[in-house]
A = this chain, B = another copy of it.
Amino acid sequence: MKHVAIGQSGGPTAVINATLAGFVRELYKDHAITFVVNGYEGLANQLFLEADDALISNVMESKKVPGAFLGAGRYEFDEEKIKESVQNLRRQKINTLVFIGGNGTMEALKRIEEEAKQQNYTLQVIGLPKTVDNDLAKTDHAPGFGSAAKYAALAARDMSRDLQAMSNFEQVRILETMGRNAGWLTAAAGFLNDYKQDGPHVISLPEDPLSPDVIMKKTTHALEEHGTALIIVSEGASWEKGQQVERDRVQGRSVLGGVSKEIENLIKQNMDVMVRSELLGMNQRSFSAAVSSTDFNEAVITGETGASWVREKKTGVMVSLQRADTALYHIDYVPVALHEVAASGERILPPSFIQNQKAYNEWLRPLVGSDVSSYPPPLKRRNLHVIEQNKSK
């Protein structure tokens, strides 16, 4: 009987536990399963939990719970720790290792696979993708992104209506999204841009340098046309000749955040308007009421596919989601080599989408699920005084 270890790693998503539950449900009846707690830290330090009925039930019941049930997080995974990890797996007689994660996770899995070969230990290795940034290569997208995109799209559209209602008090709002070095999530905040009045009137991606002139020009134009301006900026955007804005640095890792505040200050210095910047924050990856049905379903199937590949003895691969070139949206779950994923690095938003929000929206539409609908138009807010002057003649 195979002895399978499964862990979660990196930042959580709203559907990473759906992948875990899908995987476990397919295997637990005829496999020994060990849960690795706290990602690669657990692998290096043997934070192992053997699956029993209670734990299996808890995992299955948690499929709609955000976070990462087993613990994920960050860990500096050096050569020495990778060696120890393989020794730990050998000691526990674990011959299949499956991890749910993003770029860093796939890179680490590849190195574990190589180290196992060095140690002449036969280890099956499978990666299951997750990301809210959508910066994982060799896959159309990965579970977690659709829900984060839905959250960002709804938040931007809903807050724009809120802002318009407050236009006699507050005129400019800046929302900062996650996404690190890739603009996928930031651009998703423009998905529901059905009306020019709603905006977003500026979208600043990490792929393009931030220009004070462009921001001021577009903001001024929006204020003149509509009375309010909505600006979306990625946490990973940086000024021309500048660097990304860090809110913190932990364990040598940069925690991005704060560029929206810098834009707020820029506008305050140059215009007599009330401006407010806000981070969309951790809700982007955790808010359960904004989970995309497509994203949830794909997360489950990703786990189930990984389980079937355990049986089929596939190894050294990640489950990728390949979009069929058909009129109706369809995803095939296809193996890609871990070394190819790792070699590709972070996948940024391509120019074809940066230059064409409509093309991006078409690509994004199925991922946010079917329960997102358009709003009727907002009340036009410019020239109301003129209407009144006509009326009161």
Contacts and interface: CB of A to CB of B under 8 A. Distances in A.
Contact of A288 (B37, B154, B282, B286): B154
A169 B12 CA distance: 12
A72 B158 contact: no
Interface residues of A, number: 79
A49 interface: yes
B67 A161 contact: yes
A165 B68 contact: yes
The secondary structure that dominates the A interface is mixed
Contacts of A387: 47, 49
Interface string A261-296: 000000000000010101111110111111000000
Contacts of A177: none
A73 interface: yes
Interface stretch (A300-308, A319-327, A355-363, A374-382): A374-382
A233 B304 CA distance: 41
Contacts of A388: 45-48
Contacts of A160: 67
Tell which of A46, A69, A165 has the most Cβ of chain B within 10 Å: A165
A312 interface: no
Interface string A8-20: 1001101000000
A167 B251 CA distance: 13
A287 B157 CA distance: 9
A41 interface: yes
B165 A12 contact: yes
A159 interface: yes
A73 B167 contact: yes
B168 A74 contact: yes
Interface stretch (A57-65, A133-141, A343-351): A57-65
A385 B165 CA distance: 53
A46 B386 CA distance: 10
A166 B46 contact: no
B376 A158 contact: no
A58 B163 CA distance: 19
A385 B67 contact: no
A201 interface: no
B71 A164 contact: yes
A199 to B, nearest CB: 13
A281 B282 contact: no
A83 to B, nearest CB: 16
B392 A66 contact: no
A162 B285 contact: yes
Nearest to A279: B278
Given A282-B162, A289-B290, A251 B62 contact: no
Contact of A66 (B74, B161, B168, B379): B161
Contacts of A39: 168
A101 to B, nearest CB: 12
A375 B62 contact: yes
A288 to B, nearest CB: 5
Contacts of A1: none
Contact of A158 (B155, B286, B391): B286
A170 interface: yes
A67 B381 contact: no
Contacts of A150: 289
A241 interface: no
Contact of A47 (B62, B285, B378, B385): B385
Contacts of A180: none
Given A45-B388, A167-B38, A158 B74 contact: no
13 contacts: A12-B166, A41-B168, A47-B387, A62-B375, A67-B164, A71-B165, A71-B167, A71-B168, A71-B381, A72-B165, A73-B170, A74-B169, A280-B283
